[in-house]
Homo-oligomer: A and B are copies of this chain.
């Protein structure tokens, strides 16, 4: 513990959940004082994380711990990554031991969605609430739950599987084997797929013209919606309603204080947040809806790294 005459410790958080590694030097109060980014070296994660940690320790001599957000499941007892469909190399190696050896720091590994949730809870959109559900909607859909200020992992570490909630029992087939999972409607690739499927009905959309030149993305759809294209707006609005149906299940089951919506798809802003809130309101038990805040995430690309750093800060054994 730092005494009043010592400066407070800093923490390093690293996000290895995307194609880009993002690292942050985080002050004790959650402020990011320095960032690093690089293409993720997928088969060399431990060495790359140790290298960026060394760079950030050149900036601050007071780094007390290192947190790493992983696209997978971490066994709390062994500190091993036991499942990672997106980054299998970290399952084969003992990332935790390698990082501890290379840096000499206390190391905390955490699932990326859990880390992002903890970041938003601590210093982002969920700040001030004790109970929070975090949703990330991008190429996939993830979720994480904070109850009484702690990440709620569930019985085997899988709590918060928001993307595989059934929102239409007779809907599309999902890769998980179910039909009608939220992910089959509202992930970025599925927004693009649904938009393609319907585009032939509306030749006047600016997306029709765009699709003649190149494949469009969910970000293109959001941009055209902001520019006033009615068809793009309709697709974003419907996506929001699908998400809102699943948000209502969270509100009904948990009577949760705050739902923070993050991930690339939420960059559509109020165009998607408003239909999410409307549909959640329609499909929730009203007293529970009235006590739930539904807000967009505020940490953006820093969520995982900041959350991992703050989990490392808060998991220190009491002095």
CB-based contact A255/B157 at 8 Å = yes
Chain B residues with CB under 8 A of A154: 131, 254-256, 288
Q: Which of A44-52, A162-170, A206-214, A298-306 is near enough to bind chain B?
A: A162-170
Chain B residues with CB under 8 A of A245: 166, 169
CB-based contact A255/B153 at 8 Å = yes
A283 on interface, CB distance cutoff 8 Å: yes
CB-based contact B255/A176 at 8 Å = no
CB-based contact A253/B253 at 8 Å = yes
Bits for A244-261, please: 1 = Cβ < 8 Å to B, else 0.
010011101111110000
A315 on interface, CB distance cutoff 8 Å: no
Cβ-neighbour of A288 out of B131, B152, B158, B254 (below 8 A): B158
Bits for A134-169, please: 1 = Cβ < 8 Å to B, else 0.
000000000101010000111111111110111111
Cβ-neighbour of A162 out of B143, B161, B165, B253 (below 8 A): B253
Cβ-neighbour of A159 out of B158, B165, B167, B255 (below 8 A): B255
Complex Cα distance A291/B257, Å? 27
Among A53-81, those with CB < 8 Å from B are none
Complex Cα distance A157/B291, Å? 10
CB-based contact B291/A176 at 8 Å = no
CB-based contact A255/B288 at 8 Å = no
* Tally of chain A residues near chain B (CB < 8 A): 45
Chain B residues with CB under 8 A of A158: 255, 285, 287-288, 291
CB-based contact B161/A255 at 8 Å = yes
CB-based contact B147/A131 at 8 Å = no
Chain B residues with CB under 8 A of A318: none
Cβ-neighbour of A155 out of B131, B160, B169 (below 8 A): B131
A286 smallest CB distance to B (angstroms): 7
Chain B residues with CB under 8 A of A257: 155
CB-based contact A285/B155 at 8 Å = no
Question: Contacts A158-B285, A169-B245 known; A147 to B147 CB distance under 8 Å?
Answer: yes
A177 on interface, CB distance cutoff 8 Å: yes
Among A153-198, those with CB < 8 Å from B are 153-162, 164-169, 176-178
CB-based contact A292/B155 at 8 Å = yes
Q: Could you tell me which A residues sit within 8 Å of B by CB distance?
A: 83, 131, 143, 145, 147, 152-162, 164-169, 176-178, 245, 248-250, 252-257, 282-288, 290-292
A sample of 7 cross-chain residue pairs with beta-carbon separation below 8 angstroms, ordered by A number, consists of A153-B255, A154-B256, A155-B288, A162-B252, A178-B248, A178-B282, A250-B253
User: Which 3 interchain pairs have the tightest Cβ spacing?
Assistant: A154-B255, A159-B255, A161-B252
